[in-house]
Structure 1
């Protein structure tokens, strides 16, 4: 008969809890894994499956019922949230760029309920969000994220260290990449629409009596959709550049 010692049981439970803390932190924030349109039960099952797979990588001798154990659990949550938050910023940059385009083509008022975000947002932003989600899944981004999480247990084991102050500062500095990525996504279509608006300005000077609001609105929307269709081919490259910056920062956070 095999006997299980208390130390072994503590190591097994510790591995499960530390892995669950890091995985649940990531699933709370990361795109796709945190989508509110996915039932809570499914997300919980995904988190438990990932915990069971990654638990052997996270053994530690920290006592679960001590202050050090609570600090270790908080640090695991912080690591998971930091990883997911950086990737979420990359997705939000694309959606913010789409909102800039919708403002330029007079569609800023077109909003609807966004099941991914749990609130209302611009329709064009939702379309771009779905496109980059499909690109992320097609490029096996979810598998790379799980691989990064598994590697983090080697480079940043539980009970040893957590995200440093420099890492938190790097996350805050990544906000510049957020705005730069949004401009990268929106620039082709916004440049075309700027030329259209300059043309309307010239027409208003040449024919002041013309009602440009009645004439210009449908023309701007029509030409905006044409510019949007032509600029979609650059979306993959823009998202790939934003995503590469996000992956580099996430690997830096976990010491990989």
Structure 2
């Protein structure tokens, strides 16, 4: 049983390193790192999780008779690990955000921009809707438990150590960007196909009946059709979101195993 009141200098140093990784992870991760979560809450959550995990943290090659530059190196290492893992947890929301952007552009709502608190940037109204749905799905399948489990296991798979990191696995993130684009296309494919068919039909109608102003008529038709397909395909979208969560979780743990 750890006695917090009689911690040695080595234990204090180790706890500080654990806390650094935890803060970097919480601030950069999905859900916990949202701008909607106040900074004091993030710090308190990081502190509580660090205190819970610290007694069972696996320690690697750490020299406790450290000079200042080695301490800085250890701190930077923990910050990099925490930020990298936190970024990986956001990949699911990046895919959903990309899907919403593609749908917004296809139905002509890309000009309607709102602040998306989940991504911390401007986004279309469809992206806002998809982000809200993604958050609900993420919480419904206990995604927040996965976030805590991931950072807890990171101390076992990537122990606190003075050894250099292997940055090779981070190259896979760039490859995952291609996979993310493909998944986003799959998720918005029904809307894209419906809008394509509608545009073809309006083009044929415009040629058959020149008196109809297709440019004016097509806008409300496209928006109504797009919104109808979005709501009709919601069950399929939620199923795809579950699959994307599984893929991103697998990618997260693969990167941790090879760091």
TM-score (norm 1): 0.90
Offset of residue 62 of structure 1? 3.1
**1: distance between equivalents of 2:71 and 2:32?**
27
Match of 2:31 in 1: 32
Match of 2:10 in 1: 11
The 5 A counterparts of 1:119-134 are 119-134=121-136
The number of equivalent residue pairs is 253
Contact 1:79 1:162 in 2 (8 A): no
Contact 2:63 2:162 in 1 (8 A): no
The 5 A counterparts of 1:33-182 are 33-56=32-55, 57-59=57-59, 61-63=62-64, 65-159=67-161, 161=163, 163-182=165-184
TM-score (norm 2): 0.89
> Which segments of 5 or more consecutive residues in structure 2 lack a partner in the other structure?
none
Offset of residue 141 of structure 1? 1.0
Contact 2:116 2:123 in 1 (8 A): yes
The 5 A counterparts of 1:203-214 are 203-214=205-216
Q: Which of 233, 246, 249 in structure 2 is aligned with 1:244? A: 246
Change in Cα spacing, 1:211 to 1:115, as seen in structure 2 (3 Å) is same
Offset of residue 237 of structure 1? 2.1
Contact 2:88 2:248 in 1 (8 A): yes
**2: distance between equivalents of 1:97 and 1:138?**
20
Contact 1:31 1:84 in 2 (8 A): yes
1:208 alignment partner, SS class: coil
Cα deviation digits, residues 164-192 of structure 1 (max 9, x gap): 22111112221112211211221121111
Question: Alpha carbon RMSD of aligned pairs, Å?
Answer: 2.3
Offset of residue 162 of structure 1? 5.7
Shift >2 Å, 4+ stretches: 58-69, 113-120, 160-163
Change in Cα spacing, 1:85 to 1:200, as seen in structure 2 (3 Å) is same
Offset of residue 126 of structure 1? 1.1
